[in-house]
Amino acid sequence: MATATVTYSRSRSTYASLRLAVLQFLADPQWLVPSMIAPVIFALVSFELFRGSGPYYLTYAILGAGMMSMWGQTLYGSGWATGQDRVFGTLEPTIQAPTPYLYVVIGRVLWNVVSGLIGGLIVYVVIVVSAGSPPALPDPLGFALLFVFTMLTLASVGVVFAAFYVYTRYAGFIQNIGEFAFYIGTGCMFPVILLPFVVTPFALVLPPTWALDALRYLSIPGYQGFGWGVYWDLLGALGTTAVYLAIAGVVFRRVERHVLEEGNLSDY
Amino acid sequence: MAIANVRGPATYHSSFWRTLWTNAVMAPRTSLGFMRLDFVLGTVFVVPLTQMAFFVFVVKLSGGGASEIAFTAIGNAIATVTYPSVFSVCQTTDSEKQQGTMEHLLVSPTNRLALYLGRGLIPILISLATAAMGLVYAATLFGVVIPLGAIPALAVSVTLTAFAMVAFGLLLGGVALYLRTSIILGNIFLFVGLLLAGVNVPLSDLPTPLQWAGYALPLTWGLAGVRAAIAGESLVSLEWIWGAVALAAIISFGLAMSLWEYFERRAITTGSIARF
């Protein structure tokens, strides 16, 4: 008997997963809160607090709230990237499919990145309208490129969270109780060097901390962040992101094997 | 064949206190959101610290001095009660719908006042613990001076705030009976208070329409009471603020009861809004 050859495309799976994530976002708008509503409120609060503190504090408010928008999507959305399969009972069928599960999750995480970006854009518009003028940016193109790079570092954290959440019942706890801790740890609204030194090693474990510091060096003249400067920041961001992606790959392979051998990850 | 003695329909009187107690005990295990032990401990010990630290560092970066830091620390210490009071309580409706118990609840003869008041009791206690922990952090980590003599007035302010906030959470829960989910509503009010209730920025610094919106929130009045108590204001001025907080609680709870009654009737008539 001839054996049927299964052909599959990883990119098509990622695209389908991304498309479904968009549709689910539109059908269940609760994700508007972490990605768009909360950051706008944080932006307005920080704008009020920074008011009159100089032209570059506008950049602090926009960058900070924009980052929080993306963090919100990473923390909540990426956790749901695998959590939804357990709730809907689709974890085993999805993993039985020929496409590696990681490519399905990447599609969902990509949408989180895009919706976080949209949130960042909304934050930008709200702050510019409130301030009456755009922020002073010495290098707008570099800023835009580095901003996208910062998002990618966050996406790498999202993929690790998505993998890690399969093995824990505390995803909700990490998301809801740890939210502000992540904002502080990555220095969303202020440089990490303002925090007690003991926090720094924990902050440096997170790729966005490095990327955000580099972004501030580029966009805020006279900025005092980590003493090693922008290029080491970028290198650190690249290195930690690579480590995160490697960890995510290993964990997802383990998840797949676990599901195929035990079939009990849906019990949560 | 003996014929049973048929009487009129039995009258069922549900005990107010039993309903109140049963709901106080059962709601954290069944319908209130975020009531797992780890969430409760995180809400009481972690959230106040991280939220306060976040905004205090923003104030430091903007060049704020000790008074601005104290303002922000106190504001956020009290604002964190929104998690156990508003966010958790408003989810009771969602939980009932999700678990499929809403229909049973709607047709039960249970006293509604006891039912909803009972559900709010544990959140009130957790709110008190959260606010107390926040104030401890404010005094020990952020340099806020709380005179010993101010503690009785502070206790009254915090207690009234907890009651008012839980009543507001029940009000949102009432609105959520009509909505598909209360999560968005709860989340919005979780964050809106940070801007409109004088938590981080004095209300007078906001545009007039936003100030009016802020005055409609119980957190604004509760926070005013807490700030006034710490500042050692006279009992007369405190009584006015306490009156306002109590009024906010009564209005919120009254509106919650009215909304529940209206939507319950609508749910029973249409049979369409009790499902998730």
Distance CA A23, CA A21 (A): 5
How near does any CA of chain A get to the CA of B118, in Å? Answer: 25
Quote the tokens at residue A158: 């999202």
| pTM beyond cutoff 0.80 | yes
Q: Which candidate, B257, B78, B44, B36, places its Cα nearest to that of B167?
A: B257
Rounded Cα distance between B221 and B193, Å, is 11
Tell me: pLDDT of A130 over 80: yes
pLDDT at B247: 95
pLDDT of residue A205: 92
How many beta carbons lie within 10 A of that of residue B205, not counting itself? 13
Distance from CA of A122 to the nearest CA of B (A): 16
> Residue A14: CB partners within 8 Å, gap ≥ 6?
A103, A104, A106, A107, A110
**pLDDT for A137:** 81
**Which residue among A33, A45, A178 places its CB closest to the CB of B195?**
A45
Q: Structure tokens of A141?
A: 């193109």
DSSP assignment letter at B21: H
Percent of chain A with pLDDT over 90: 12
Contact at 8 Å (CB) between A217 and A229?
Answer: yes
Mean pLDDT, rounded, for A28-41: 75
Per the CB < 8 Å rule, is B184 touching A29? yes
pLDDT for residue B77: 94
CA distance B50 to B35: 20
Q: Spell out the per-residue pLDDT of chain B, length 276, in tens.
A: 455 554 555 566 668 888 888 888 888 888 777 778 888 888 899 999 999 999 999 999 888 888 999 999 999 999 999 888 888 888 888 888 878 888 788 888 888 888 888 888 999 999 999 999 999 999 999 989 999 999 999 999 999 999 999 999 989 888 888 877 777 788 888 888 888 999 998 998 888 999 999 999 999 999 999 999 999 888 888 999 999 999 999 999 999 999 888 888 887 787 776 665
The DSSP output letter for A257 is H
In chain B, which residues have their Cβ closer than 8 Å to the Cβ of A185? none
pLDDT for the residue numbered A117: 82
Write the CA distances from B185 to A179, A252, B6, B172, B191, integer angstroms: 19, 35, 50, 7, 10
Q: Which token pair is B190? A: 């979780």
Take residue B187 and report the two structure tokens written for it.
Answer: 């989340």
Residue A238 has pLDDT above 90, yes or no: yes
Q: Which residues of A touch B184 (CB under 8 A)?
A: 29-30, 32-33
The beta-carbon neighbor of B192 closest among A41, A46, A57 is A41
Distance in angstroms (rounded) separating the CA atoms of residues A228 and A245: 25
Å between A98 CA and nearest CA of chain B: 34
What is the distance between the alpha carbons of residues A113 and B22, in angstroms, rounded to a whole number?
45
B137 CB near a chain A CB, below 8 Å?
no
Q: Which residue of B has its CA nearest to A46?
A: B58
How many CA atoms, within 13 angstroms, populate the side-chain half-sphere of residue A70?
28
Of residues B124, B117, B134, the one with CA closest to residue B56: B134
Q: Is the pLDDT of residue A70 over 90?
A: no
pLDDT mean over A247-261: 82
The pLDDT score that the predictor gives to residue A266 is: 65
User: What is the b/e burial string over B137-156, where b = at least 16 CB atoms within 10 angstroms of the residue's CB?
Assistant: bbbeebebebeeebeebbeb
| pLDDT computed for residue A90 by the predictor | 82
* Model pLDDT, residue A40: 87
For chain A, say whether B210 makes contact (Cβ under 8 Å): no
B184 touches chain A (CB under 8 A): yes
What are A94's two structure tokens?
A: 């999805």
Check: CB of residue A85 under 8 Å from CB of residue A91.
yes
Write the DSSP assignment of A41-94 as a string of letters: HHHHHHHHHHTTS-TTHHHHHHHHHHHHHHHHIIIIIHHHHHHHHHHHT-HHHH
Instruction: Tell me the C-alpha distance between B203 and B256, whole Å.
Output: 26
Instruction: Tell if the CB–CB gap between A33 and B184 is shorter than 8 Å.
Output: yes
Q: What is the pLDDT of residue B273?
A: 65
Which tokens go with B256? 């919650």
Amino acid (one-letter) located at A95:
I
Helical residues (DSSP H) of A186-262, grouped into ranges: 200-204, 207-219, 229-261
pLDDT of residue A4: 61
Residue B1: its pLDDT value, please?
Answer: 47
